[in-house]
Structure 1
């Protein structure tokens, strides 16, 4: 006699409930697979060219061999309004059997039992091999309304069984409802719950994250409800030192987001599949994928389970947060913000609870039209990186306030002050400083290139020239950003003109890098005599000018009504050093020409080397012109007489 029958014969029916719950959960997997097969059969029979649905993972998870079930969609065909299914009677028997298995643990729920009896009777009267459109609707519809369906019954049974599983759990391990586990499962469940509980508070009062755990033969099963959506499911199987995680989601972007989070803890994902099922996601596709983790030892397994658990909370209301963030930054940046907030263990729920987009719009409005106009996007005004940084800092503020139970009004005030600091710290001069950083990088690269003999190293000179071109393009983008802002805000006009002048510095230095790569090619016959030394001195002087330009900008960013006399003096001194460097480079250019005339005889080397030196010297001319523009902008901030 089977163990279950022996227990039943003794009248200890309560001891059967955990096993019946486990059997019901397995029956639920099979029933959902049967309904997917019916839907696939309908789609295949409705039109040619419909690809076969790959349900191999579902067959494996349900413990079923494919056989006749896998062939059912391919054998389906339409005749008028009827769908012909040669194996329908066999499938009907499976549906009835598994409905009854699902009903056993909840036999005390009279309403559910009556629905099960109704649908078992309904299935019994079906034709042996055909389904009408109304039959298919009754079987697979997930839309709640006046009519019941088999699919709705399965979902309601599943919810009831999950509730029963929590009630029947033989113990609680750090919040997880568990039953029928082995001794080796306890530290594994504890590891998963340790990670889950590290971040659980970030969901605030939102429902979700309830965990159930049990054993199925040699496998430990962990299920987390994530949230409240039927298609948002996460199941973990642990067998030996192997972890398998199956995840389904209505939203492809959130699915990809979770994939990236789990890759941080060693996930190896199989190919995700898009599926459809009546009643889920308004009939649109949802996505299913499986991740595998191979662990070297028990400690590694615990670390993996802990890492998985700690990341689940960031899925809750993720799509709502993404849509609200897209009002301020681009789609990719919105996802990047959510990923970084997860890495920082800040999350997005507190920000949503504190007002979400209203929190940021309020801060923008408080600063007034000098900074933001109606319809402005945050990244357009502040730049992408600063906008992302500000939003992340606001999320951190909201998270800290939620943990400390601070009022929402305080979060709003903090957000406004934070935005004011960002715009004070990251104003017009910040963009110019970023442009100057690219110029400094090119000037430093040219100086170092000459010191390392790039004029004789074709590969090294080419690589540097390509890098310099990338920097020059990035500098060009900053010029375009400044022009766009000037079109919207008159106060940016004078600044945009200075940035345009500064871009001539970048152009000259990038040209010098290109010419150096030509000199290093077959045209070069060597810089004999004093040529290399004079070139090096010229490059050194250009780098010094670029460094003083950066220093002047750093001081200019702080000049204002409260800046000191020492700040003003150091700013002017830096500009004068740029002026002196420009004059020095005029002299050094002549020294280079003299050395070239004395020691270089071939025309190609002479012409390319002369052009190279002239490009270096031209950079200092434009640095000086830019310095005068910076001086006008900086002094406009200081009120005379204060």
Structure 2
């Protein structure tokens, strides 16, 4: 089926004449071929000892290469006075179809001006019926002559003078087709095939073609986007064939400052995509229809709809036409691109990628030409072989990068492919850029660091609370009613501190469990889960310190002199300082894997070394605290709890150092992979 059938179904027949003439001339070539083969078949049947003629060149010129037609002459034979042709029913069917195609531009446009008694329209109807009534596999001599004779009445006398034939009708149709084509007086406006338009129509046609030509290079070598324009009464009509599918047709009608667009598509989802592309231009759509035409889409249903655009002035009219024209290229091979995106993102994600690529005037054809999904699979495999084994077989891009980042990556790949091919660069360069882009996208992913930073925030809150509690002396018991009246009991404050610390520690635990789950699913999470597990020991030690403070405040602070409290406070402050340096290291580490300079690297190393110095300071402060405790504390429970508190704080510094070393391994792995 041809595009002209779809345009005809839309009711825009005045656009069809050039296409009909083109199809009619092609049908003429095939009709002449069929009749020549039929004559050769009769000759071969009369002289079977002769080799059958070879019509390969003629078949190539007529763009047909059917085995039955190649073998028609060789299979012909005589039965009494009849010509036996096993493929006669097929031949008759093709002759009738091609005759209808050849006659269409003449009989459908009232161009019948034959001076003979029998009009072309009547002759075409007669021979169509004659061919359709031809049964069996034999032709009589009279029937053969009726098909192939080229003699007219007066050219040669005899009993058959004045008889019509299919061959004569074909010759007459061809002559009038040439006259009609010459009288059509077509012209070209910015690449549009134009006829019978007014001078005021040409700026409108030029505006539409300006948009079409701006994005047309994005189709590359794919066929389509041919545009025809004509005037039909008060309306200017423009038709674009988009691609090769017979129902994928777009017709634009301009009347005054109102633009009406009629569009048909066999894919409902692509129709809706096109609706979204036209939304910025103020399209108002009527109800969509599901249509069935026996001539189109093999009789299957397709979607048809109409949109209207109301324009305030000529400038707005031209802008609307230019916008419509610029969006058409993004429909070519759209469904193929959508399907090839589905292994990486969901259905909605694939459409979102194509929408954004169209908005950026990048499109998807270059990506398809460069390999499509193979580009992304190769990049995933390459990145999956890195230090963190980011991708495994069966992983989807959106499950690893997240929906938004996966879509952003694919849009960028489509944009890179378009820019590269438009600049004449090879597809191999696009493949390399895709791998580098995915590697950067993975390294820019901050989800793992966000989890570590969130966990570190809970640890910092714990360290800050313990330090503040010691600084405000929540360990002291209430000694007078006056103190109770001035403030709530310190023991109660210490209990509140312990309760808050427990909640924070549990929330930190949940983050560790999440990191473990991610590590089981995605190998790239494994080093981060290890850091989280080590960091959780920090939270456990600080939560234990807060709990011990609540026990001490609950009547076990006998002998707590200023020097004991001061050394414990110094120990807590050292842990808090180390925690702050660890958070600083995390913030720097987030970006170290994506081209950081030496200043960032030095700052990261300085922060980790500060954690080491704090840990060594805590070792010394623990010893000082024990000396002070032994000198001041005589109550066994008080001594035991104070020592446990000091050990818990020092343990937090040890665990901070272990987490810091694990973080260094992560960063060194990233920068090593980058190199």
TM range (shorter): 0.5 to 0.7
Corresponding residue number in structure 1 for 2:393: 374
With over 3 angstroms needed to count, the CA separation of the structure-2 counterparts of 1:638 and 1:338, relative to structure 1, is closer
SS in structure 2 of the partner of residue 289 of structure 1: strand
Q: Does 1:487 align with 2:520?
A: yes
Contact 1:274–1:286 (CA under 8 A) maintained in structure 2: yes
Cα distance in structure 2, aligned partners of 1:434 and 1:268: 49
CA contact (8 A) 2:238 2:252 kept: yes
Q: SS in structure 1 opposite 2:259?
A: strand
Contact 1:433 1:550 in 2 (8 A): no
C-alpha deviation, 1:575, in angstroms: 13
Equivalent residue number for residue 263 of structure 1: 279
> Distance in 2 between the 1:433 and 1:106 partners?
84
For residue 406 of structure 1, what is the aligned residue in structure 2?
Answer: 425
| Deviation (angstroms), 1:557 | 1.5
What pairs with 1:411-422 in structure 2 (closer than 5 Å)? 411-422=430-441
Specify the SS of the correspondent of 2:591. coil
**Superposition deviation, residue 487 in structure 1:** 1.9
Q: In the alignment, is the contact (CA less than 8 A) between 2:15 and 2:228 conserved in 1?
A: no
Q: Kindly tell me: are residues 27 and 493 of structure 1, through their superposed partners in 2, closer, same or farther at Cα, counting changes over 3 Å?
A: closer
Q: Residues 290-327 of structure 1, C-alpha deviation per residue, up to 9 Å, x if partnerless? A: 11000011111011001101100000000000000001
For 1:542, the equivalent position in structure 2 comes to none
Question: Residue 152 of structure 2 aligns with which residue?
Answer: none
Measured in 2, the distance between the counterparts of 1:322 and 1:267 equals 24
Cα deviation code 1:127-181 (max 9, x no counterpart): xxxxxxxxxxxxxxxxxxxxxxxxxxxxxx9xxx9xx989945221111111111
Q: 1:557 to 1:181 in 2, by over 3 A?
A: same
The Cα shift of 1:486 comes to 1.8
The residue aligned with 2:606 is: 569
Is 1:22 matched up with 2:14? yes
| Alpha-carbon distance in 2 for matches of 1:21, 1:427 | 59
Deviations 1:388-412 (A, max 9, x none): 1221121122111111111222221
Who is 2:213 aligned against?
197
In the alignment, the residues of structure 2 paired with residue 477 and residue 297 of structure 1 have an alpha-carbon distance, to the nearest angstrom, of: 62
C-alpha displacement of 1:429: 3.4
Q: Would the alpha carbon gap of residues 318 and 394 (structure 1) be closer, same or farther in structure 2, given more than 3 Å must change?
A: same
Number of aligned positions between the proteins: 396
CA–CA separation in structure 2 for the residues paired with 1:408 and 1:422: 21
Q: How many Å separate the matches in 2 of 1:166 and 1:256?
A: 41
Deviations 1:521-578 (A, max 9, x none): xxxxxxxxxxxxxxxxxxxxxxxxx99998654312134797623233357879999x
Q: Which residues of structure 1 form unaligned runs of 5+?
A: 1-19, 29-96, 126-156, 440-474, 504-545, 578-623
Query: Which residue among 102, 107, 127 is the counterpart of 1:101?
Result: 107
Match in the other structure for 1:321: 337
Distance 1:26 1:202, change over 3 A: closer
Aligned twin of 1:355? 371
**Residues 493 and 290 of structure 1: CA distance in aligned 2, closer, same or farther (over 3 Å):** same
Structure possessing the higher radius of gyration over alpha carbons: 2
- Compute the displacement of 1:222 (Å): 0.6
Note if contact 2:588-2:603 (Cα within 8 Å) is conserved in structure 1. Answer: no
Deviations 1:272-295 (A, max 9, x none): 111223464454421011110000
Q: Distance in 2 between matches of 1:272 and 1:437?
A: 56
Quick one: distance in 1 between partners of 2:257 and 2:284? 15
For the aligned residues, what is the CA RMSD? 5.0
Provide the TM-score with structure 1 as the length reference.
0.52
Residues 196 and 415 of structure 1: CA distance in aligned 2, closer, same or farther (over 3 Å): same
CA contact (8 A) 1:549 1:575 kept: no
Q: How does 1:453-468 map to 2 (within 5 A)?
A: none
How far apart, in 1, do the equivalents of 2:206 and 2:456 lie?
50
> How do 1:8-19 residues align onto structure 2 when only pairs under 5 Å count?
none
TM-score w.r.t. length of structure 2: 0.50
Mapped contact 2:581–2:607 kept (Cα < 8 A): no
Structure 2 gaps, min length 5: 1-11, 21-102, 115-120, 135-172, 459-507, 537-578, 615-652
Q: In 2, Cα distance between the equivalents of 1:557 and 1:192?
A: 49
The aligned counterpart of 2:239 is 223
Q: Does 1:293 align with 2:312?
A: no
CA shift in 2, pair 1:638/1:415, >3 Å:
closer
CA pair 324-572 structure 1, distance change in 2 beyond 3 A: farther
Matched with 1:394 is 413
Q: Would you say the 8 A contact 1:234–1:245 is kept in 2? A: yes
1:367-402 Cα offsets, whole Å, 9 max, x none, are 344122222211112222221122112112211111
Aligned equivalent of 1:432, options 436, 451, 456: 451
